[in-house]
Structure 1
Amino acid sequence: MPPTDASADAGPVPVHPVHPVHPVHPGRSGHPGPAEDVRDGEDTLDLRLPSELRALFAGQAPDADIGGTAAPATETLAHPPIGPFDAPDAPDTPGALDTVDLLDQVGTWGPTRTPVGLFRLQPVRIERDLPVISRWMNDPAVAAFWQLAGSLTQTEDHLRAQLAGDGRSVPCLGLLDGTPMSYWEIYRADLDPLARHYPARPHDTGIHLLIGDVADRRRGLGSALLRAVADLVLDRRPACARVVAEPDLHNTPSVAAFLNAGYRYAAEVDLPAKRAALMIRDRSLRHLM
């Protein structure tokens, strides 16, 4: 599992990778602070829904893209500016429409206005988005946390592991004023191995983030977008009461970015590759922080 550092101002912001994508490291549970509701002995398992329920709810999958064929998979043409009313993308993997939607149709969440511009999460499509995401993953500053530097195939495997899964993780591009500038993974933290390391609650939603280009780092974009995406999650997922992340405890700029975005420092968590700061943005506190 690459470390999960979300640095608003300090560059790449990966957060603990999800189920098959970034295997979460087994290890001791962290020690939540006084504000955390610790439930002794409670361990959230890595659950998978039975096929019967998937079939029953298959109709809840995201709407298909109405825009026709995808642009050529080149970085120059892959991302034409996208307006606020574009239709959501169709799932990129055969069979994706047959899975239960565990994240309330991320592709339909739409744009949100932020202090830095109009922002939108756009679910990844391999043929369109692979070149730019792979380029970002090969930036040394990003690779230090995500550990995905290498060929296009390595990045593609990482993306397909999520797209071919049961829907508990959705990889997305972050578009700011129509331009791709960040990569996100929105995932069900309560269904992820991360839940073994903290007192997870039903529908806890996790985020991983990296800022793609050096020019977009260290100028406050990260904090603004971390807040905006947390608010999107809470607005579009009524059952979710908390958004969680776990940056490396020693990545001070990353932890500061989360604090500036309205997350609280809830605990220190021992993961196999690092000691992490468990950051939580609560629905009940969102208007106070």
Structure 2
Amino acid sequence: MPPADAYADPGTGLTPSAGSGAEDTPDLPGTHELLASPAEDIPGAPSTPSTTGALGVSGAPVTGNAEGVSELLDRPAAWQPATTPAGVFQLVPVRLERDLAVISRWMNDPAVAAFWELAGAESVTADHLRSQLDGDGRSLPCLGVLSGIPMSYWEIYRADLDPLARHYPARSHDTGIHLLIGEINNRGRGVGAMLLRAASDLVLDNRPLCTRVVAEPDFRNTPSVSAFLSAGFRFSAEVELPDKRAALMIRDRAHRAQL
């Protein structure tokens, strides 16, 4: 079961700050490190998929997550950036050697750790990331880069192929998202809701067979649930999962323009 969604206040502000100072974010990779990389690392550039040998729902081999490629998710590494009121937003597939330190630091923030439960040594976060990166492509960890600043962590996953599907009436190609906002100065200002809308729009724009985006934040995480509601998701049901009681949130393709 994927972890609970992280703390994300809905708030009212639109423009996140880049940080409270250089001393607060010494290990954040900059835009030049994330996007001015070898061609295969640049979102939108051609990549060579690798086959993990795992079997998909049809019994045929499926493509895994090497270099951020996932055929099961329609290749998120190739998705174009989205324009938001706070700047250009892009999902950049995680590279363990580049991103582990900052993601682990975020996981050790008490507000994040309370719901993700991945605090501790870097190896704890590394194991969590590797389980996706070495998997069959049904879940992809990404950094969220806003106006050139990596400031959030995402997991885009096939909810219909996830254990979550046992707990709600899943539809084929349902796509799930998890989010954590990395820096405290980006919380409580409307940034979470804005990014959730942008990310779910990216899913719907790039996955034509997906009719809805789903999420399952911890029911106790009121700021996160509120952020999803502000982002155009609707509350569908209260779901009892093995590790938590969740609020099932759904954003439907059919109503995305109205909500």
Q: How does the TM-score come out when normalised to structure 2?
A: 0.80
Matched, 1:5 2:5: yes
Shift in Å at residue 167 of structure 1? 0.2
Match of 2:101 among 126, 131, 140: 131
Q: Note closer, same or farther for the CA distance 1:212–1:269 as it changes in structure 2 (3 Å cut).
A: same
What letter matches 2:155 in structure 1?
Answer: E
Match in the other structure for 1:245:
215
Match in the other structure for 2:16:
none
Matched, 1:89 2:41: yes
Shift in Å at residue 248 of structure 1? 1.7
Shift in Å at residue 88 of structure 1? 5.5
- Cα distance in 1 between the residues matched to 2:163 and 2:96: 25
What letter matches 1:136 in structure 2?
Answer: W
- Cα distance in 2 between the residues matched to 1:180 and 1:230: 18
Higher strand share: 2
Match in the other structure for 2:68:
none
What letter matches 1:204 in structure 2?
Answer: D
Cα pair 1:8 1:224 within 8 Å, conserved: no
Match in the other structure for 2:178:
208
Match in the other structure for 1:80:
30
Match in the other structure for 1:261:
231
Moved over 6 A (4+): 83-86
Instruction: Kindly report which structure 2 residues correspond to 1:167-178, keeping only aligned pairs within 5 A, or say none.
Output: 167-178=137-148
Shift in Å at residue 274 of structure 1? 2.1
Cα pair 1:3 1:248 within 8 Å, conserved: no
Match in the other structure for 1:182:
152
Instruction: Kindly report which structure 2 residues correspond to 1:108-119, keeping only aligned pairs within 5 A, or say none.
Output: 108-119=78-89
- Cα distance in 2 between the residues matched to 1:152 and 1:7: 20
Shift in Å at residue 252 of structure 1? 1.8
Q: Note closer, same or farther for the CA distance 1:131–1:253 as it changes in structure 2 (3 Å cut).
A: same
What letter matches 1:89 in structure 2?
Answer: D
* Deviates further, 75-84 or 126-135: 75-84
- Structure 2 runs not aligned, ≥5 long: 12-24, 52-61, 64-70
Shift in Å at residue 178 of structure 1? 1.1
- Cα distance in 2 between the residues matched to 1:88 and 1:264: 37
What letter matches 2:237 in structure 1?
Answer: A
Percent of matched pairs sharing the same residue: 65
- Cα distance in 1 between the residues matched to 2:111 and 2:103: 14
Match in the other structure for 2:123:
153
Shift in Å at residue 151 of structure 1? 0.8
Higher helix share: 2
Shift in Å at residue 97 of structure 1? 1.6
Match of 1:274 among 240, 244, 247: 244
CA RMSD of aligned residues (A): 2.4
Match in the other structure for 1:198:
168
Tell me, what secondary structure is at the counterpart of 2:31? Answer: coil
Cα pair 2:5 2:224 within 8 Å, conserved: yes
Number of residue pairs aligned between Structure 1 and Structure 2: 223
Match in the other structure for 1:41:
none
Q: How does the TM-score come out when normalised to structure 1?
A: 0.72
Tell me, what secondary structure is at the counterpart of 2:226? Answer: helix
What letter matches 1:135 in structure 2?
Answer: R
Match in the other structure for 1:30:
none
Tell me, what secondary structure is at the counterpart of 2:41? Answer: coil
